[in-house]
Amino acid sequence: MDDRLAMAISHWAPRFTTNGVTAADFDRITRDLPSWDEWCSAWSTVAAEHEQLGRDALKAGRTISAGAHLSRAAVYFHFAKFLFVSDLVQMRTAHERAVTCLTDALPYLDPPGRRVEVPFEGARLAGVLRQPAGPGPHPAMIMISGLDSAKEELRSTEDLFLERGIATFSVDGPGQGEAEYDLAIRGDWEVPGAAIIDQLSTEEGVDPDRIGIWGVSLGGYYAPRVASGDPRVKACIALAGPYAFDDGWDSRPILTREAFRVRSKSADMETARRRSAELTMAGRAGLITCPLLAVMGKLDRLIPWQQAQRLVEEASGPAQLLLLEKGNHGCANLAPFHRQVTADWAAEQLGGMVRY
């Protein structure tokens, strides 16, 4: 097993199984892989099996099953491409199938979803809007992925907010998902964030005065960066986000650094390192006045937990840190110990449904 493959398996197994991959599938896909070069094709093969289950269910009129199978296939195709920047053609093929599977699943999810596109700098930021049952307008949570994730990965997290009466808008920003081919990673996320909030505020059933923002990993930087520049954000959740992304650059796995180089559209690693310094909350954290919840694992190998502590200490509004002693990056290995807490906190801040 080569180093890149070993890193992917050891670092990300809990994340995969928390976000929709069955443990048995994870094992059968990764158990006999000889090298990272086979990663995308191996995941795509099993993703296609789940897609076929969905297509068969759809033909038979079993729409609940179709939605479940197709949304699962989208997750598998997403994980086929998530860090596979060594073969961009193969990566994009898997990604396109992920997008297709999720789009086809949206009408059959509970609650259903709807694709929304946000015009931005000559391109578009594609997102999925889901709203809870019952009369609106509903509070809404903008959901921002990280360096290697995209909206196709967020179903299980969306459901936590939806259960509490909060609409979700999972969106691919610059350097992410559907936007990564046209738009580079950028540090000033208050700019695309404003465009996303502008669009969401016009959607029927959404209360523009009760919008929160959640982000994971690099999205855990993007979310507070948006909150630092837009008073329309009423609550902010930063899960495993960096304060300054260049801090610890050399110690990060090569897969992470390669993905950043490609998605920041940097010509080489040294340029990527310099670009990473543009992603910082220095001079911005103090501008956050809305309630802030930072969640971090003390065993995070990508982002030192002290960065979350610094964000909380510098924020001007009410801020708290949920630090999990044995949590990994994203705390996926301890999902029950933070996901429900986070969703309840969001409901309290935004006026969703909180049941005790």
Q: CATH number of the domain that 28 lies in? A: 1.20.1440.110
pLDDT of residue 44: 98
To which H or E segment does residue 207 belong? strand 206-216
Domain final residue, candidates 109, 133, 162: 109
Q: Which domain holds residue 4?
A: 1-109
Residue 1: pLDDT band (50, 70, 90) is low
Beta bridge partners of 119: 124
d(CA 113, CA 244): 34
Same-domain status, 210 and 351 = yes
Same-domain status, 78 and 119 = no
pTM of the full predicted structure?
A: 0.96
Domain count within the chain: 2
Residue pair 136/205 in contact (Cβ under 8 Å)? The answer is yes
pLDDT tens digits, residue range 276-306?
999 999 999 999 999 999 999 999 999 999 9
Same-domain status, 81 and 149 = no
Residue pair 20/151 in contact (Cβ under 8 Å)? The answer is no
Same-domain status, 78 and 124 = no
Same-domain status, 195 and 208 = yes
Q: What is the mean pLDDT of the chain?
A: 96
Pairing of strands 113-120, 123-130: antiparallel
Q: Is the pLDDT of residue 356 over 50?
A: no
CATH number at residue 130: 3.40.50.1820
Residue pair 49/87 in contact (Cβ under 8 Å)? The answer is no
Which percentage of the chain shows pLDDT scores above 90?
93
Same-domain status, 170 and 158 = yes
Domain final residue, candidates 109, 126, 148: 109
Residue pair 352/164 in contact (Cβ under 8 Å)? The answer is yes
Distances (CA, A) of 232 to 95, 116, 157, 211, 222: 32, 20, 22, 7, 15
pLDDT tens digits, residue range 61-76?
999 999 999 999 999 9
Q: Is the pLDDT of residue 13 over 50?
A: yes
* Count of beta carbons in the 10 Å neighbourhood of residue 180: 24
The burial class, CB within 10 Å (0-12 / 13-18 / 19+), for 85 is middle
* Count of beta carbons in the 10 Å neighbourhood of residue 119: 11
Domain final residue, candidates 56, 79, 109: 109
pLDDT of residue 26: 96
